[in-house]
Amino acid sequence: MLLLAGVLIAVWFIPVHILEILDIRKEKVVFIQKVSQGETFSLSFIHSVEKSPVTDYFRIDDAYRIVLYETSFRSLNTGLPAVISEGQRLIRTEQGFRLSGIDRILPDIQLWVHESYEGSMEIRKRVISLAALAGNTLLQIHVRKVFLWEYALGITSPPATLEQDRKPA
């Protein structure tokens, strides 16, 4: 019985990686999802200038970093990709354009969310309205390691680096 209790306690302290969305203004976690290496998700929104849909595609790499690997958009106008770099590929589709081969590692994603821009995240075939999570605000999306018990109970807190990131130099 003591051995079983020890095993159960040990399991609670297994580290897992989560994709976490933080309302920066309130310093409140509004979404968590356990993620694995190679897992993908996308962020979609209406471009504020062009008023056309944009979708960015991300994957979690072997080091649990967020990697932007592709983006799709309707036009090549203001604020949208118009020049491609070595290794990237721009393809014309029925919906507009698709830029692939980006492979940009991002420590986090910070984005302003407003209901009029229809921001959403798709992960594991589930579409989540970003404005519904926290309203019209600034969100930060990142991956971090927590213990299994924190994830299972939904107990997470803003990363310790958040306050440091805001302090003036």
Q: Which two tokens stand for residue 94?
A: 């029925």
Residue ranges of domains in the chain: 2-166
> What does each C-alpha distance from 141 to 12, 30, 111, 144, 168 come to in angstroms?
25, 10, 8, 10, 22
pLDDT tens digit sequence for 117-159: 899 999 999 999 999 999 999 999 999 999 988 888 877 666 5
pTM: 0.83
Q: Is the CB of residue 28 less than 8 Å from the CB of residue 22?
A: yes
> Quick one: 57 exposed, middle or buried, by C-beta within 10 A (0-12, 13-18, 19+)?
buried
- Beta sheet of 28-34, edge-to-edge order: 28-34, 15-23, 137-147, 109-113
Residue 134: the pLDDT is: 92
Residue with token string 């018990």: 149
- Dump pLDDT digits (tens) for 95-120: 888 999 999 999 999 999 999 889 99
Collect all residues with Cβ–Cβ distance below 8 Å to 1 and sequence separation of at least 6: none
